[in-house]
Amino acid sequence: MNPTGSVSRPRWLTVVGVLGVVAVGFTVWLGLWITPPDAVQGNLARLVYVHPAIATVALYWAGGVAVAASLFYLWPRTRTFFWDRLAVSAVEVGAVFAALTCVTGSIWGRPAWGVWWAWDARLTSTALLLLLELGYLALRRVPTDPAVRARRSAVAALLIAVDVPIVHFSVDWWQTLHQGGTVLDPGFHLHIHGSMAWTFLLGFIAFSLIFVWLLGVRYRVEVLSDQVGDQEMDVSLAERWSEGTELVGAAASSPVPAAPPGGAPTMVDQ
């Protein structure tokens, strides 16, 4: 068994990546050229084909994977570094999607609300999620034992996860500038139809596929960096071992060591 995990390039991941790129291409084509403008928002509504999909990935997919992986790591029966690597991969990719959620939302908000930013509950809690994810990534850079780092990171991920339901329910708990359910209302009545509905759905699928692909590639980077770290540790230990053997050998072969030219003591003398 490979203690650092598999580093092979799985074919399914390439397929997912290609499908994701194709699906994003179709989403852009449908969203910008095929779907009609909205009756109220006009062309501005075209941003709805990317912003909610990106936010869904940031909040639910990345958040869900990070929480589940962290729980599996903390649970003694399932504790392996696979879960730790998966968690950090999900958090990093999630941070990219969270940043995009804020930026695309801001780009929509400027013409729709008249401001780039408002201290609205949904916006603020989403920005907080991004900051917490960046904090998680910074925490992992603190040098320490890998097991300590993994346990610390798993606890941090669970603390970050508290923000996820706050983001989700913020539009229900508080009176916010951000609208509530855009597609489905609380009674699960659909408010989008025809080509707009299909494009909206395709956007969700496309960005979800891109998320899975990025997650897989990021996981592989983590495995490779761990393997290189292990190798460098092995090389370092072998060099130290070699140096120690040479010193012991030199001491054994010359019981009365010759003084160096300067007369300074050596390690063998001591």
Report the interface residues with another protein, using CB under 8 A: 3, 7, 24, 28, 31-32, 43-44, 46-47, 50-51, 54, 96, 99-100, 103-104, 107-108, 110-111, 210, 213-214, 217-218, 220-221, 224-225, 227-228, 230-232, 234-235, 237-238, 242
CA 24 to chain centre: 20
Nearer to another protein, 91 or 214 (CB): 214
The residues, any chain, with a CB within 8 Å of residue 43's CB and separated by 6 or more, are 37
Min separation Cβ 157 and another protein, Å: 20
Nearer to another protein, 234 or 246 (CB): 234
CA-CA-CA-CA torsion sign (206, 208, 213, 217): positive
Min separation Cβ 25 and another protein, Å: 10
Nearer to another protein, 142 or 233 (CB): 233
Give 17: exposed, middle or buried? Use CB within 10 Å, 0-12, 13-18, 19+. middle
Min separation Cβ 80 and another protein, Å: 16
Q: Taking the CB of residue 170, how many other CB atoms lie within 10 A of it?
A: 20
**And the tokens for 209?**
């596929």
Nearer to another protein, 184 or 228 (CB): 228
Nearer to another protein, 54 or 72 (CB): 54
Min separation Cβ 144 and another protein, Å: 20
Nearer to another protein, 46 or 140 (CB): 46
Report residue 190: phi and psi, to 5°: -75, 135
Nearer to another protein, 237 or 259 (CB): 237
**And the tokens for 251?**
């001491």
Min separation Cβ 34 and another protein, Å: 14
Min separation Cβ 11 and another protein, Å: 16
**And the tokens for 43?**
């062309």
Alpha helices (H) along the chain: 11-29, 51-56, 62-74, 81-113, 121-140, 146-161, 163-173, 194-253
Q: Which of 63, 28, 15 is nearest to 209 (CA)?
A: 15
Min separation Cβ 259 and another protein, Å: 33
Q: Residue holding tokens 């979800």?
A: 208
